[in-house]
């Protein structure tokens, strides 16, 4: 069936069609035992045959480095690609607060089941229940493995690994290395990867950016990359491809992610046929530093772990311009503790972000721009003392002081919600394989585990579970049927056609000859998204945003300026390609948010809320994952993966 290009004035029926339902691949039966049963049923590749198979892993964060290192250790021929100059520069280093595990070393009644309940409930029942069980089960091995390869976890006085709490839970299951957990885990994973590079099982390609996916005979069989130093376009073929390239939060321009984070690898795979699940499920982190000036290029993350000891409040009186320490206790509104007494400041991120945004928009915002709330450590400092707080959060306090010039030991921090994590991503089945056979995903580039809202410290965990303990099982199952097949030849028509398409796209970008650089378009796109599909959304705001994105896209393709040459190092060209993909992704993001006629987790539609302002799900109509297809002519088709819950029955989230 063919479709015409959607009209310029969008309405929902013209924006999308309805496709077929999808098979999750989860084994029938008890979800608590699904992973063990699936793992036991996987086909194997014998040790003497593994070197005959080639696997491409794009990305060297925790998921990518873990997957490449594990497959290399097993004996496969692995090609690892990163656009960084070293694998340890991957964005996993930016995670601060910790990594969850259901090891139950504290006597606080934690368990695998409680982990699953917290994760499924935290995601507002929009993720697979069986995935949450796998995450919980493998979390125990993840911590032991990372500890064994050198991650310097914090320890109790007697030597046991220390834990703390994160939002959405009432137990202590988060393992940490002060406020540097992501960095320390990334160092350990990178060392494991480089060990395999030295052993010759992994070939590392630094400063190479994936620009397209090679699909032949209906299977993913390679990638086309650009050498960021020389500009050379080349192809690498293999029996399977793994994308571990992170999320797309930078589509909002100002986000907590590094500036170079982008969606090109996943979006190019999507345009080759990989379905994209729940693109509108965007997490706004409640403890980011507020925007302080219009020229600011990104926001700065402050770890959620700070909410263990910090108390969040705003002045009771709107517009109160007194210094925070001059405002007496009776004139402070500890609004999370007031609204959610059972969880207090440790409510899930979507709840905390909406509550902060509501207080700010009601006139209670603080700071020079009235766009933030206070995170106050005075009580904890008085109760525990400065040495204890410094031991737990010292580097975070130093970072805050460096960024703002204010001393959080003396005055409260100022925080505000900011675009952060993407729960949406390339759809995959229970084996982590996308709708394109041979294309697998790991970490944030996928959609699994988190549903409509990710619990803090489940991000590092999901990346590690995918990289170390899921993909090394499921990829061999796929490869086992391809013994004797050689990787696609370099002169295969699919290789030549994909490489030619990449070159043509680059030529187009560099030949427009307009007046505006790519960053200007990106900034304007971010403003549209924050306004139209931010912490809260409405039919009106989303419809307006789609129209504005289309106008901006037309302007981009007629007035883009890319200076420099395509045959050399050119960051303007890199940004231009990424912004072009962001413009297409942003429209689909808004279409998904408009299509999903309910509120759930971080997807908060103002027309679907309870009387007290909480997200109002519609399980009768929307208990499924939306997985989007974009046809060659740009038309969108929404497929469904129905969701069912047996271990954690559907219920209204209640953190009161």
Give bridge partners of residue 18 from the DSSP assignment: 638
Angle of helix 518-532 relative to helix 539-559, nearest 10 degrees, comes to 170
Cβ burial, residue 517 (10 Å; 0-12/13-18/19+): middle
Residue 352 tokens, joined: 């905390």
| Integer-rounded Cα radius of gyration of the chain | 24
Q: Which of 349, 357, 392, 605 is catalytic?
A: 349
For β-strands 373-376 and 311-315, DSSP reports them as: antiparallel
Give the span between the Cα atoms of 640 and 15, in whole angstroms: 17
CB-based contacts of 491: which residues, under 8 Å, 6+ apart? Answer: none
- 10 Å Cβ neighbour count for 220? 27
CB-based contacts of 336: which residues, under 8 Å, 6+ apart? Answer: 312, 343, 344, 345, 347, 352, 355
CB-based contacts of 147: which residues, under 8 Å, 6+ apart? Answer: 153, 161
Instruction: Return the closest-CA partner of residue 579 out of 339, 114, 261, 298.
Output: 261
Report DSSP state, residue 191: H
Q: Where are the beta strands (DSSP E) in 404-503?
A: 413-422, 425-426, 439-441
> How many CA atoms within 13 Å lie on the side-chain side of 584?
24
Q: With contact defined as beta carbons under 8 Å apart, do 61 and 446 qualify?
A: no
State the virtual CA torsion across 384, 99, 119, 283 in degrees, nearest 10.
Answer: 90
Q: Is-catalytic flag, 349?
A: yes
Supply the residues annotated as catalytic.
Answer: 349
């Amino acid at each position: 069936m063919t479709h015409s290009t959607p009209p310029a004035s969008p309405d929902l029926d013209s924006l999308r069609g309805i496709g077929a339902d999808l098979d999750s691949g989860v084994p029938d039966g008890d979800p608590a035992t699904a992973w063990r049963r699936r793992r036991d049923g996987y086909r194997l590749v014998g040790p003497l045959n593994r070197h005959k198979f080639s696997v491409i892993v794009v990305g060297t964060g925790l998921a990518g480095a873990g997957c490449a290192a594990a497959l290399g250790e097993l004996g496969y021929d692995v090609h690892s690609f990163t656009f960084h100059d070293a694998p340890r520069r991957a964005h996993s280093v930016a995670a601060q607060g910790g990594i969850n595990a259901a090891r139950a070393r504290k006597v606080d009644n934690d368990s695998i089941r409680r982990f699953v309940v917290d994760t499924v409930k935290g995601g507002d029942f929009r993720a697979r229940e069986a995935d949450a069980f796998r995450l919980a089960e493998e979390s125990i091995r993840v911590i032991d493995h990372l500890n064994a390869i050198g991650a310097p976890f914090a320890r109790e006085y007697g030597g046991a690994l220390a834990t703390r709490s994160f939002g959405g839970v009432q137990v202590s299951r988060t393992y940490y290395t002060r406020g540097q957990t992501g960095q320390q885990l990334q160092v350990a994973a990178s060392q494991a990867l480089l060990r395999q590079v030295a052993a010759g099982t992994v070939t590392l390609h630094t400063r190479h950016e994936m620009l397209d996916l090679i699909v032949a005979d209906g299977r993913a069989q390679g990638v086309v990359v650009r050498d960021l130093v020389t500009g050379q376009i080349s192809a690498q073929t293999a029996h399977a491809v793994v994308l571990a390239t992170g999320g797309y939060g930078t589509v909002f321009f100002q986000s907590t992610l590094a500036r170079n984070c982008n969606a090109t690898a996943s979006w190019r795979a999507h345009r080759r046929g990989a379905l994209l699940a729940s693109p509108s499920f965007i997490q706004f982190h409640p403890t980011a530093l507020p925007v302080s000036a219009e020229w600011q290029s990104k926001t700065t993350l402050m770890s959620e772990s700070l909410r263990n000891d910090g108390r969040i409040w705003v002045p009771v009186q709107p517009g109160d311009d007194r210094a925070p320490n001059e405002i007496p206790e009776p004139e402070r509104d500890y609004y999370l503790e007031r609204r959610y007494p059972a969880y207090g400041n440790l409510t899930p991120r979507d709840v905390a972000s909406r509550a902060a945004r509501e207080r700010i928009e009601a006139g209670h915002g603080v700071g020079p721009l009235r766009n933030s709330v206070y995170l106050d450590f005075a009580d904890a400092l008085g109760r525990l003392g400065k040495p204890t707080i410094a031991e737990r959060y010292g580097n975070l306090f130093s970072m805050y002081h460096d960024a703002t010039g204010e001393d959080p030991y003396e005055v409260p921090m100022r925080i505000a919600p900011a675009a952060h994590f993407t729960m949406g991503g390339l759809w995959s089945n229970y084996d982590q394989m996308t709708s394109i056979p041979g294309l697998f995903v790991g970490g944030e580039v996928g959609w699994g585990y988190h549903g409509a809202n990710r619990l803090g410290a489940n991000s590092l965990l999901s990346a590690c579970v995918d990289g170390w303990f899921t993909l090394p099982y499921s990829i061999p199952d796929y490869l086992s049927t391809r013994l004797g097949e050689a990787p696609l030849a370099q002169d295969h028509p699919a290789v030549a056609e994909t490489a030619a398409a990449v070159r043509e796209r680059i030529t187009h970008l560099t030949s427009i000859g307009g007046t505006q650089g790519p960053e200007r378009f990106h900034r304007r796109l971010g403003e549209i998204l924050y306004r139209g599909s931010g912490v809260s959304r409405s039919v009106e705001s989303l419809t307006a945003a789609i129209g504005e994105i289309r106008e901006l896209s037309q302007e981009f393709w007629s007035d883009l300026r890319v200076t420099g040459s395509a045959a050399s190092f050119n960051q303007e060209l890199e940004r231009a390609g990424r912004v072009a993909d962001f413009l297409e992704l942003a429209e689909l993001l808004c279409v998904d948010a408009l299509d999903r006629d309910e509120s759930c987790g971080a997807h908060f539609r103002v027309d679907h809320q309870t009387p007290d302002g909480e997200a109002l799900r519609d399980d009768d109509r929307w208990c499924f994952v939306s997985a989007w297809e974009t046809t060659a002519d740009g038309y969108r088709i929404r497929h469904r993966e129905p969701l069912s819950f047996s271990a954690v029955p559907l219920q209204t989230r209640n953190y009161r």
